[in-house]
């Protein structure tokens, strides 16, 4: 996806999120070792549940995006005042889903989100780049901790369900801070002198 102007980038090992504010964001999730049909099936089950509760709230369109199959899913008013859109793109070897959440009262914002999502493409030659996490292995399996996309720019915050700290009351979170080499050496000296 082309990085949109006016959005901030947040990345974790699981996904990449660009956000305009707390209500407006686009999240890209790779689906390793899953075909587009497998990912579509998973979303179909979710859509089925939504349609039962809110009939006629979902619109689905299949099409080609470049050399890949794509499906666009639009769910109106999933949460009060919030629309969700998802673009699934891929082939029989791998797939990616691009999901967006945004307030539904702004038609120009809706068009902006759609235009951003439709710049998505797959580069089959790309190599994974997990920096700045390359030196760390963080296993949050079996816990409620998830990467917090509303993180401080200088730290990597994990909170309950990935919610913003202000929503969790500032409890139950941990932070990973990467120090520059000069700061790291100062910190090491302080540890030795304590």
Which tops the pLDDT comparison, 150 or 156?
Answer: 156
Phi, psi (deg, nearest 5) at residue 116: -65, -50
Per-residue pLDDT, 164: 65
Instruction: Give the confidence band of 89 by pLDDT, cuts at 50, 70, 90.
Output: very high
Q: Give the whole-angstrom CA distance, residue 104 versus residue 116.
A: 16
pTM above 0.85, yes or no: no
pLDDT in tens, 51-84: 888 888 899 999 999 889 999 999 988 888 889 9
Mean pLDDT of 183-191: 51
Per-residue pLDDT, 193: 47
Helices (H), the chain: 36-53, 107-117, 165-168, 181-193
pLDDT > 70? residue 181: no
Q: Which residue is listed with tokens 């700061």?
A: 183
Mean pLDDT of 34-41: 91
Which domains does the chain carry? 8-117 (3.40.1000.10), 145-193 (no CATH)
Mean of all residue pLDDT scores within the chain: 77
């Amino acid at each position: 996806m082309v990085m949109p102007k006016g959005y901030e980038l947040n990345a974790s090992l699981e996904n990449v999120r660009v956000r305009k504010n707390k209500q407006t964001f686009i999240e890209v999730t790779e689906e390793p070792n899953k075909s587009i049909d497998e990912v579509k099936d998973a979303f179909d089950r979710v859509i089925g549940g939504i349609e039962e509760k809110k009939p006629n709230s979902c619109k689905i369109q299949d099409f080609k995006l470049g050399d890949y199959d794509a499906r666009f899913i639009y769910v109106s008013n999933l949460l009060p005042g919030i629309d969700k859109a998802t673009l699934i793109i891929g082939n029989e070897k791998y797939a990616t889903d691009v999901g967006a959440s945004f307030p539904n009262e702004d038609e120009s914002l809706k068009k902006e989100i759609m235009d951003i999502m439709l710049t998505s493409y797959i580069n089959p030659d790309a190599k994974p780049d997990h920096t700045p996490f390359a030196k760390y292995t963080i296993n949050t399996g079996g816990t409620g901790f998830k990467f917090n996309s509303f993180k401080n720019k200088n730290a990597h915050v994990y909170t309950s369900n990935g919610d913003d700290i202000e929503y969790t009351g500032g409890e139950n979170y941990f932070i990973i801070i990467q120090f520059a080499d000069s700061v790291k050496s100062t910190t090491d000296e302080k540890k030795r002198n304590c």
